[in-house]
Structure 1
Amino acid sequence: MSMVPNQGDDMAPFDSVTARLILLLAETGSIGRAAEREGIASSAVSRRVSDLESRLGVVLFDRSAHGVRLTSAGESYAEGCRTVLRAIADLDAVMADFGAGLRGSLRLACTSSALTGRLPELLARYAAKHDGIVLDIQEMGAAKALLALDEGRADIAIVSDNYDFTRFEIKAFEDDRVWVLAPPDHPLAGQIEPRKDIGFGTVIDYPIVGIHQAGSLDRLVAEAARKAGKPLAESVRVESFPALVRMVEAGFGIGFLRSTSLHLLAGTDLVCAPLAEPWALRQLLVARRKTSPLSAAMKSFIALCSETYVPSV
């Protein structure tokens, strides 16, 4: 397909709305889902992309009945959009610090594990001390939280530690060890004691209740099983930790939880114990992009996290 750019528009200004749409289309692979997320009509999304392709003289997306996918030119343009949007977000952060320092915002991208641990109490302390700072707290998976940092949609992410943090500055936030849980009548129950470590090799041969495919805990357990040469015997898979607890309680198998989610066992008769292996000694991390300006709101929050972090012994 030959496309000729419109010479009269080759100096058209950068359009941040269209840039966000390009990134949404790249993420979702669907015009309909991107339109729904942005709150506009699908036809408007299609028109913006077509107009942009016409102006640039390139095809940004391969279209098919299954959705849309970035071309090589589209990949390059999407990366450029991320760069510009990051720069815009960074400029906003710098300008905020030119004020009196009494007002601002802090955008946090947090995993479910973070929000079920000590983070809510810490945020309450922060809000009480910095009542002029508007908190924008978004719950999402770790991979999406780091992507939000990359694209300038979040200032700080609090995520599990088993990802690539090359581009980020990180600090420990909370210890989050992996535990195994089982019903009291399970064959393993006699070997499970809360204050005694149990080996992964002891539990892996039993059916398990899986959790959120490709999530951080799923990736950890699957990789450990692969290294042990023992494929996981999943009896069922769920998408939330409360559902995992209920399915284990109902007898569908054993399960794995991080220590920040152990409060979900309250009111049950499930037994649990920490895994003994080094890979199970995990942490939640506070991450920020190394190249992003460190606003006053970010500095004070990171300082509070460091002051209140107490490593497990």
Structure 2
Amino acid sequence: MASLIQTLAVAEYLNFRHAAKALGAAQSSVSARVKALEDDLGILLFERHARGVRLTDAGRHFVEQVTVGIDQLDHAVKTASMVGAGRQGRLRIGICALTSGGFLDQLLSKYREVHPGIDIDMTEGTARKTMMQLRADRLDIVFVAGAPEPPDFHARCIWAEPLIAALPDHHPLAGNSAVAWPDLSGETFLVRHGGTGPQAYDHILLRFAGNFSAPTIQRLDVGRSALLSMVAQGFGITIVGAATSLMPASGVTFLPFSDELEPVPFSAVWSPFNRSAALRNLLDLANAMERQVRTG
């Protein structure tokens, strides 16, 4: 590499002495390295004369090609350095839902602001689906409802949200300040197949198990907006995290639960073998924001 750099300097200045001065090297050293390179290549790169040198045709072609190669190498080194520092690269994120104004939305917005060089690929799906993609190394990190403890991954609770009941505006309980699970006995619950639907389904069964009459639960292959629209139209009720109540939902009343003492945790899950600086920076930012929310 030193021989190539010195050869390029001589090609630029067309003078060994000037090239050596620019490089901060001895003229004899530069001359010797260039001569050794010519011997190795078996071609004459420079024609020497009393006032300096000039490139041969072979030398001109060689210098042009080497310049391109060194520029590419320099770009590769700089790019690798930026990726290693988390300033450039790609982050593949799996989510169960993303609500405008919610913690995850704020986290990703802040991350993109602080790390504009990172391209974010987002995949939405159930916890089971995104975990399968994580295990297949198709995702770098997933955010799921609950506090999982997978034996093969790191998991950390990042934020929590109160559980909210979503009722149609014309529901008899819509005028209350809060609801309790016994109030909802006999109701028809609507839950999604996707997103956090499976966790909502399990939670409803858990709350009614052995306490009240078994609920009617309809599982639907719809998005959150369609689900809330069906609630507004009186097809049934549902349960959501508090962030969902920030969504515009005409005809829907959101009420907190008086008998849900703990908010619903949401966790990040990632591989212990993933050394991505972009991932580390996201986790650090999530921790800082979580602390700010807790102390603020």
Q: TM-score, normalised by structure 2?
A: 0.62
Of residues 256, 263, 270, the one that matches 1:274 is: 256
Cα distance in 2 for residues equivalent to 1:297 and 1:235: 40
The structure-2 alpha-carbon separation of the partners of 1:137 and 1:280, relative to structure 1 and needing over 3 Å to count, comes to: same
Q: RMSD across aligned C-alpha pairs, in angstroms?
A: 3.0
Residue 225 (str. 1) matches residue 208 (str. 2)? yes
Of residues 131, 148, 155, the one that matches 2:133 is: 148
The answer for the alignment partner of 1:248 in structure 2 is: 231
Deviations 1:286-308 (CA, angstroms, capped at 9, x unpaired): 1112x323321111100101111
Deviation, 1:129, is 1.9
User: What secondary structure does 2:209 align onto?
Assistant: helix
Question: Superposed, which structure 2 residues align to 1:38-53 within 5 Å?
Answer: none
Give the counterpart letter for 2:250 in structure 1: T
Residue 286 (str. 1) matches residue 268 (str. 2)? yes
The structure-2 alpha-carbon separation of the partners of 1:292 and 1:162, relative to structure 1 and needing over 3 Å to count, comes to: same
Of residues 70, 89, 93, the one that matches 1:104 is: 89
Cα distance in 2 for residues equivalent to 1:185 and 1:312: 38
User: What secondary structure does 1:253 align onto?
Assistant: coil
Q: Give identity over the alignment, percent.
A: 20
Runs of 4+ in 1 over 4 A off after TM superposition: 96-100, 113-116
Deviation, 1:226, is 2.6
Residue 187 (str. 1) matches residue 169 (str. 2)? no
Query: For the Cα contact (< 8 Å) 2:149–2:155, is it kept in 1?
Result: no
Question: Superposed, which structure 2 residues align to 1:1-313 within 5 Å?
Answer: 101=85, 102-113=87-98, 117-161=102-146, 163-190=148-175, 192-193=176-177, 196=178, 198-212=179-193, 215-234=198-217, 237=220, 239-264=222-247, 266=248, 268-278=250-260, 281-289=263-271, 291-309=272-290, 310-311=293-294
Structure 1, unaligned stretches of length 5 or more? 1-95
Cα distance in 1 for residues equivalent to 2:100 and 2:124: 8
Deviations 1:208-267 (CA, angstroms, capped at 9, x unpaired): 333327622222212322343532124674522212211111122222222121123x35
Give the counterpart letter for 1:245 in structure 2: L
Cα distance in 2 for residues equivalent to 1:99 and 1:150: 23
Give the counterpart letter for 2:180 in structure 1: G
Question: How many aligned residue pairs are there?
Answer: 213
Cα distance in 2 for residues equivalent to 1:99 and 1:252: 50
Cα distance in 1 for residues equivalent to 2:153 and 2:295: 24
Query: For the Cα contact (< 8 Å) 2:228–2:249, is it kept in 1?
Result: no
The structure-2 alpha-carbon separation of the partners of 1:237 and 1:107, relative to structure 1 and needing over 3 Å to count, comes to: closer
Query: For the Cα contact (< 8 Å) 2:145–2:199, is it kept in 1?
Result: yes
Deviations 1:174-215 (CA, angstroms, capped at 9, x unpaired): 22222112223322224x32xx4x221211322333332762
Deviation, 1:159, is 0.9
Cα distance in 2 for residues equivalent to 1:182 and 1:224: 18
User: What secondary structure does 2:273 align onto?
Assistant: coil
Structure 2, unaligned stretches of length 5 or more? 1-79
Query: For the Cα contact (< 8 Å) 1:212–1:218, is it kept in 2?
Result: no
Cα distance in 1 for residues equivalent to 2:183 and 2:270: 38
Give the counterpart letter for 1:272 in structure 2: F
Deviation, 1:156, is 0.9
